Structure 1
Amino acid sequence: MSRHSPIFTLLFAFSTIALVFTLVAYSQISFEAAVRGLKIWWEVVFPSTLPFIVLSEILMGLGVVHFVGVLLEPLMRPLFNVPGTGGFVLAMGFSSGYPVAAKLTTRLRQQGNVTQAEGERLVSFTTTGDPLFVMGAVAIGFFHSEQMGVILALTHYLSAVIMGLIYRFHAPFATVSKPLEKTHLPLPLRALQAMHRARVRDARPFGKLMGDAVQSALNTLFMIGGFIIVFSVLIQLFAAIHLTQIISTFLSIFLVPFGFPPAFSHAIVAGLFEVTLGAQAASVVPDGVSMVWKAAIASAILSWGGLSVHAQVASILSDTDIRVAPYIIARSAHAFVAAVLTFVLWGPLSSSAWLSEKTLPVFLPTSSGMLVFSWWETFWHSSLLVLGLTALLLLTSVLIRRLRPSHTR
C-alpha cells in the first residue's frame, strides 16, 4: 500500500484522532510521562551531546575533518567503501552514541563530501549506542555486572563493524565521491593541503563559525528532545491501554514454537519503541531464563536502537537525499548479528579468567535501576574514546598504506 493512497491517509487520520482521545482520557499519565522524558533530555542527553555536535561543526568548518579524512582514506575506502571523512563519523558515532553519526553524515552530504549511497552506507553502521550507556547504564545499572558490559560492548560494536563490511556492497553501481589526487606529496602534506582548501572554501570568520555551530546543535537537540518526550508519552499511553501487553501476548505465541523464551516478549516490544526500556525489561526477566538469552536480547535491543532513535535519525536525514529505508534495514540486521554474536562469544568470554574476576556487582541498584553519569564524566570519557578511536584508525590507516605496493599509492 502506497503512502500516498487514500487508505493510508484515513488510517493515519483515525490513528491521530484516537491518540488525541487517549491523551485526554489519560491526561495525568501523559503529563507525568512528558515530564519524565523532559528530565531525561535535560539532565542526560542535552549536556552530554551538545559539546560534541558543536565541536564537530567547528572542526568541519576549520577543515580538520578533511585533514583526518585524507589520512583515513587508505582504511575507510577499501573496508567500508566510504571516503576517509567517514572515519571521523565512525569515531564520533561509536563514542558519542546515536544520533550524532546521522548529524555528521548529513553535514558531510550537504558539503558534498559524500554521495547519497556513501551517506547511506555510513549512517547505517556508525549509528550505535555510546560505551557509557552500554557498559554503564545497561550492564552495571540494569544487570549489575561488569562482565555483561564487556560482552554487550564487544557484540554491539563488532556487529556494527560487520554491518559496515556488509554494507560496502550497498548500491554497488552508484557514483562515488572524488578519490584522492595522485600526487607525489607525502600523505601528511596532502592532508594539510586538504584542510587548508576546506577552510578557504568555508571562509566564515571564527565568530560566525562558532555561532552557526551552536545554533545548529541547539536546533538538533531541541528536535531530539521533542522526540524523546513524544515517545515517552506514547509508551506510557500504550501501557495504560494494555496495547503493549496485547502485542507481547501475540508475539510470544509466534516465538515459542521456535524455542524462544516467552518471557522476553515484553522486553522486545518495549525495545521496539525505546532502547532503555527494552534493555531494562530484558534485565528483569525471571532468573529461570538463561543469562545468555538475556545478554542476546539486550544486545539486539541496543543494536536496534528503538523507534524513538529512528525517528530522530529520519528527521535529521530529511535535509538530504539520504534514504531512511537502508538505515532501517541495517538496524534490523545489526540486531540479528549482535544476538548471534552473543551466543557465539558467550562461552569463550564468560570462561575468561580476566572476566571471571569482574563478575561481581560493582554498584548497588539505584532507585531507578539505571546509573546516571554527570555531564563531566560523560564528556571526559567520550572525549577520550573519540581521541583513542581516531588514533587507532589513523595508525591502522598508516600501516595499511605502508603495506600496500608503492604503485597503488
Structure 2
Amino acid sequence: MRPATARALAGSLLVVFFILMITHPAAVYRGALRGLNVWWEVVFPSLLPFFITTELLLAFGVIHLLGSLLEPITFRLFRLPGAAAFVLAVGFTSGYPMGAAAAARLKSQGLLTAAEAAHLAAFANNASPLFILVAVAVGIYHLPEMGPFLALVHYGSNLLVGLTFRFFSPSRRPYLPRSRPSPTEGRKPASLGQTLGEAVRQSVTNLLVIAGFIGLFGVLWELIREVSNWQGSASLLFEAGAGFLEVTLGVKGVAETALPLKIKVWVTEVWLAWQGLSVIVQVWSFLGQAGVSLLPFFGGRFLQIVYASILTFALFPFFAPGWSQAAAGHFSFSPSFSWILLRSTGLCLASFLFLLLLALVTSCCRSRL
C-alpha cells in the first residue's frame, strides 16, 4: 500500500471515529472512565516500581555491570548480550508493556542494538504474575487452581519463542566480556536527588502515555459495542472477541460464554499471547521512539500463539482434574491499589535480587576457570 493511500485510509477512519464520538457521547464517557479506572487501579501501581527501578539502575550503571557478568548465560541461551537478563527479569514479573519498554530504554542507552532490542521485545513482553494469578484465575474464572497452569503455559510459550528466535539472531559473535561501554562513562555525575527526581519524572511520563492508549481503546471498544448492538449469545461471542483490542475484556468475555472449559482456557491463552491491539500500540510507541522495528514483535506474537495452543492442549488433561470449580465458585477477591503496589514492589525487588544472585554465581564460576 502506498504511503499516500495509507494516510488517506487512516484519515478516513479517524473522521468516522470522530463522528461516532460526537453522536455517542455517553459511550465515549463510559469507555474513557472504564479505561482510566483500570489504569489507576491496576496498571499504575503494578508498573510504577519497575519503571522507577529501571531508570535508577540505568542512571547508576548497574545494568551495565550485571550485563558484563551475565553475558555468558544470555548469549548461550538467546544470542543476546548480558543486559538482556535485566529485561527478561522485568518482562516476566512486571506485565505489559514493561518488557518492550525496558528493551527500548536499553537500546536508547546503547546497551542493545536495534536488532537485539527487537529480538528481546518479541518474547520479553509478558502478562504479569499478578494479572494471571489474581485478575484472571481468581477474579474472572473464580478458579485459583487455574492460575499456575495459565502462568506455566504463558511464560513457557514465550521462552520457547525466545529460544526459537535464537536461531535467527543477527548476533553470531563470540562472548566478549565488557565489550560495551557504560552509558555513564565520561558524564558528570548527578546528585542523588536529581537522579531520583528524573527517574520518577520519566516513569510517570511513560505511565501517562500508557494511560492515554488505554483510555483511547476503551472509548473505541464502547463505540463498537454501542454501534453493533448485538444481543443474546451473539453478544457473548462478540464480547469474547474483544481480546483482539484489549486482553482483559477478551478474557472476561470468554469466561462468560458457554464454551467447554478446555476451549475457554485455550482462547484465554491466545488472548494473553496476542496481548491486544491496545498493548501492541503501546509497544509500538516505545520501540518506535528507540528506532526499533515492530515486525519481530508481531512474529513473536503469532509464534507464541502456536506454542501456547500446543502446550494448552497437551497439559490440560494433567491439570484440569485438580481444579475444584465448585469449591472456588464462592471465592471472591478484589485487590486494592495498595495491595497491587506492595506486591509489585516485592516482585521488582525479587527479580533484582535474583539477577544479583545469578551474577555472583556466574562471576564465581568464571573466576575458577
Shift of 1:363: 5.5
Partner of 2:176: 179
Equivalent pairs counted in the alignment come to: 367
| Residue 307 (structure 2) pairs with residue 337 (structure 1) | yes
Shift of 1:344: 0.8
| Residue 172 (structure 2) pairs with residue 220 (structure 1) | no
| Residue 211 (structure 2) pairs with residue 278 (structure 1) | no
CA distance in 2, matches of 1:75, 1:391: 17
CA distance in 2, matches of 1:386, 1:214: 16
CA distance in 2, matches of 1:156, 1:102: 17
Partner of 2:341: 379
Q: 1:362 to 1:284 in 2, by over 3 A?
A: closer
CA distance in 2, matches of 1:10, 1:218: 34
Shift of 1:205: 2.2
Q: Which amino acid aligns with 1:154?
A: L
Give yes or no for contact 2:68–2:178 (8 Å, CA) kept in 1. no
Partner of 1:123: 121
TM-score, L = length of structure 1: 0.81
Shift of 1:383: 3.4
Q: 1:177 to 1:280 in 2, by over 3 A?
A: farther
Q: 1:360 to 1:8 in 2, by over 3 A?
A: same
Give yes or no for contact 1:73–1:84 (8 Å, CA) kept in 2. yes
Q: 1:77 to 1:147 in 2, by over 3 A?
A: same
**1:292-331 correspondence runs (5 A):** 292-331=262-301
Q: Which amino acid aligns with 1:141?
A: G
Shift of 1:152: 0.6
CA distance in 2, matches of 1:234, 1:210: 36
Partner of 1:159: 157
Shift of 1:386: 3.7
Identity across matched positions, percent: 32
Secondary structure (helix, strand or coil) at the match of 2:160 reads: helix
Give yes or no for contact 2:63–2:83 (8 Å, CA) kept in 1. yes
| Cα deviations by residue, 1:260-305 (Å, 9 ceiling, x for unpaired) | xxx985355210000000000111111xx32111111101111111
Shift of 1:377: 2.2
| Cα deviations by residue, 1:206-229 (Å, 9 ceiling, x for unpaired) | 222112111211211111000010
CA distance in 1, matches of 2:209, 2:191: 27
CA distance in 2, matches of 1:123, 1:216: 20
Shift of 1:175: 7.7
Flag structure 2 segments of 5+ consecutive residues without an equivalent.
none
| Cα deviations by residue, 1:112-147 (Å, 9 ceiling, x for unpaired) | 111111101111111011011111001111110012
Partner of 1:253: none
Q: Which amino acid aligns with 2:192?
A: F
| Residue 124 (structure 2) pairs with residue 138 (structure 1) | no
Q: 1:103 to 1:372 in 2, by over 3 A?
A: farther
